[in-house]
Chains A and B, each alone.
Chain A
Amino acid sequence: DTAVSQTPKYLVTQMGNDKSIKCEQNLGHDTMYWYKQDSKKFLKIMFSYNNKELIINETVPNRFSPKSPDKAHLNLHINSLELGDSAVYFCASSQKGTGGYEQYFGPGTRLTVT
């Protein structure tokens, strides 16, 4: 029973196209995130939503638009894809507790832009 799931796992597309990545969590968490892992494996946060409200937007190009239809889902839509968008995108979720925000990650979506 997967806690945080993402679809698709692999995405190959051409420059200029528009694509979406979907994320769902069944942990009952209030907060969800998108992270980008580049080719050097460096991880950087992109967005965070809490109860469908955007709380973090880390100076990501406005070609990237997150959408949270409910607190269990956080999708990422990317317009006009560029070569530099090629990366692995991870969704994560968490619930604030006494131990802060312990985050659970999805398996990742490997996006390749050609």
Chain B
Amino acid sequence: AQSVTQLGSHVSVSEGALVLLRCNYSSSVPPYLFWYVQYPNQGLQLLLKYTSAATLVKGINGFEAEFKKSETSFHLTKPSAHMSDAAEYFCAVSESGGNQGGKLIFGQGTELSVKP
């Protein structure tokens, strides 16, 4: 069965500092991996996705993530945090084949706070 673990339910950084949100996954088949962001009282917005084309994936708002198969990780980074990055971030996995209809298995989420 697939699963996702996000280390740290809450991460706090200063404005301009590096953002690192950790995600480890478990999957018996090649996975598709996603990072979503949720701003307060809003739906989920896709930041970026890994689909096996490239291990370093660039997304919106300056975020990127690197797929490391040996570490079963897909950590999200941003070189310099902005106040507007404060939100909840979710890592998710889905199977690349089968008849699971692309269902997403989510991690528990990481709340990012950005201090002035």
Contacts and interface: CB of A to CB of B under 8 A. Distances in A.
B103 A33 contact: yes
Interface in B46-105: 46, 49, 51, 53, 88, 90, 94, 96, 99-105
Contacts of B41: 108
Given A99-B51, A100-B94, A48 B46 contact: no
Interface of A: 4, 31, 33, 35, 40-45, 48, 50, 55-56, 58, 90, 92, 94, 96, 98-108
Given A41-B109, A43-B106, A44-B106, A55 B46 contact: no
A99 B41 CA distance: 28
Give the residue among B44, B45, B103 with the most A Cβ atoms within 10 A.
Answer: B103
B42 interface: yes
A94 B102 CA distance: 8
A96 B97 CA distance: 11
B108 interface: yes
Contact of B43 (A31, A99, A106): A106
17 contacts: A35-B104, A41-B108, A43-B90, A43-B104, A43-B106, A43-B109, A45-B103, A48-B102, A101-B32, A101-B101, A102-B46, A103-B102, A105-B36, A107-B42, A107-B43, A108-B41, A108-B43
B72 to A, nearest CB: 18
Contact of A100 (B32, B38, B109): B32
Interface residues of B, number: 27
B51 A48 contact: no
Nearest to A90: B43
A49 to B, nearest CB: 9
B102 A42 contact: no
- Among all A-B residue pairs, the 6 with the closest Cβ atoms: A101-B102, A100-B32, A99-B51, A105-B43, A105-B44, A43-B106
A31 B108 contact: no
B102 A31 contact: yes
Contacts of A92: 44
A51 to B, nearest CB: 11
A96 B43 contact: no
